[in-house]
Structure 1
Amino acid sequence: MNKTKGCLIANFATVPSRMPEERRLAILTAFVKAQEISALDEAVDVLDMLILNITREAKKTGQKKRLRTLKDLDRAALLLARACALLLDEDTADDLLRKTIFSSVSVARLAESVEKVNELARPQDTNFQDEMVEQYGRVRRFLPALLRDLHFRAAPDGEHTLAAIHYLAELNGSKKRILDDAPEHIISGPWKRLVYDADGRIQRAGYSLCLLERLQDALRRRDIWLENSDRWGDPRQKLLQGEEWQAQRVPVCRALGHPTNGSKASEQLAAQLDETWKTVASRFDRNTAVDICNEGKHPSLTISSLDKLDEPPALIQLSSRVRQLLPPVDLTELLLEIDARTGFTREFSHVSESGARAQDLHISLCAVMLAEACNIGHEPLIKHNIPALTRHRLSWVKQNYIRAETLVSANARLVDFQSSLALAGYWGAGR
């Protein structure tokens, strides 16, 4: 636990003692649950950064190796190119071809060059997986605890990855290097040569690193998720459910332009898709800008670049005038100006329901909201010489003032103020 969070918890510790017992128990239970969720989120954040660091280190090591061996690879490739040039020479008779090549390049040097190219050249789809496997000694120090303590769940597209996680979790404590009956669906093309040995057996080191790469990808897609996690949980659980959904169903569907009957909506989308496919197919042969390229493993669609459309002079003039009208204002200044006009930061109250407000609280609130909205963290906004922008102040404000209900209240004030503007009345409701 970092020092800032420790200070926040210490400050919070005295608050429940002033509450009635029933409320105190509820607050403490909620606090423990919130800390559990926060700890789990931070643990997976660290895991994500660790896998990213392993990938970055592997790439750096691979690039250094590549630079060291580039001269040897070039030398071998040039020698093979010389031999191939003789092979393509139409003036050389077929029965004299081998003799001509070996008189120019010895058999030993040719064989050595072939071996060197096979050793140093990388497959087209490789992504420094070799160097990742070299870091298995680092990975096996944390992987058993990770698989033991984190309880992963899966969406349908993550079932294969989850099966591999469970398989390795069952091997915790085992020193087996060759794996039997391991789920193989996660082993993609670039990994096959590193996971399977010469006899086609699955090697634990390659399999573990392959799983880590797939796990990171699945976590970011939320194909793999964790219970009791906010940032890494199942996004489907945040959808409206049960009676709450039934109460909001009609206005939500109306706003999105969808029918309230799910089956009817699916039928409409299926019919629309079918009609679109048929329309595209009927025009395909006549469309010279689109072609199907059959080179490579799978066919691909090739679309010609569109001709550039010059902007009309009136549009250029309008854009120039609009830019001149916009004041050169920083985003932070703009947010503070909006607060000065609307007072939306006054809607943020302390979690303890205390009416006391710190000095320049509106500056701290705007900084925290800007950090959250831009996903940049607090670090770029911290100014140790400004009390409202110290690290401790921003962490304290985020912990005690930024909540769902205060955000809703502040947003309502902004909407109310906007609706009172003459320009908004001129534009209308936007429907």
Structure 2
Amino acid sequence: MFGSGTLSSSDGQRFPTRGKSITARHLNKYFVSEGISTYTHVSDQHSTFGTKVIVATHREAHYVLDEILGNATDLPITEHATDTRGVTLVNFGLFDLVGEQLSPRIRDLGKITLYRMGAKSDYEERFPTAGPLLTKKANLDLVADHWDDLLRLAGSLKYGHATASLIVGKLSASSRRNALAAALKEYGAIRRTIYAAKYLSDEGYRRKIARQLNKGESLHALRRQLHYAREGKVIRRQTEQQNEQAWCLTVVTNAVVCWHTEYMGLAVGELRTAGRGVDAEVLAHISPARSSVVNYYGSITVDYERELAQLDEKGHRPLRTAGMDEPGAGL
């Protein structure tokens, strides 16, 4: 109900650090002293399948493709959503060349330059409303001249001969004198124009992208709550150790999401067995990134024999009913 696993999104989340680190930077907007960013990739099933520690002042758009191409899970990702910080013309071009769809939510979308394939007069005549919006003619000859090089570049990324973050960073910073970078940006501008037309004309598509980005934000909130130790600060100094700490947080987050998903399914099954209708469309908007049942603090004493005695034949705990949550009810 949550999704087919083909759509994902990515976003950065900032954490303060304790002590000096080569990845930590001063950002007065987010930290009292210094901090880092963790860039996470989330599927439409609320699972986190990619986590990487990056320098907080680096541009997030450079890291969008890394976990998509390095996806070691069974998720068949074909489309990826980001916010404005994950968008560049280079990313639009590379996503299409490697067979993926970049679907960002672009701030101030009305201010981007839209490209056309032919003469301005022809497009204004054919499309009286949209034609005047296509203000620039695409340089198709430049793209055609470097098409083989663009395919080789995409192949190098797809088969792991080069990291996407390195290539995207280099090409994004290249000037127009770099013919390959210019051709890729031109192709990316064409793909962005096609995407903008689809995004503006399809309200359902816009809602799908917004819903996916909201899933990422809800997981950010859950990670923030789970990361309470050491006052929520990253205490490791080496990049490898910081990545280990970030992945530990990801494992715990996925465990909480998995637990809630399992028991939500059991609750829905019991309601339907009792004859109550539960709309699948409503379930698609329910998030398992919850924390109300998580005990964050203190020592926890567990009576193993009592707990095991409550489990059914499949190992599930008994579901709580509405009456059990009333004041005075035993839990």
TM above 0.5: no
Q: Which has the higher helix share?
A: 1
Q: Which has the higher strand share?
A: 2
**Relative contact order higher in (CA < 8 Å, ≥ 6 apart):** 2
TM-score where L is the length of structure 1: 0.19
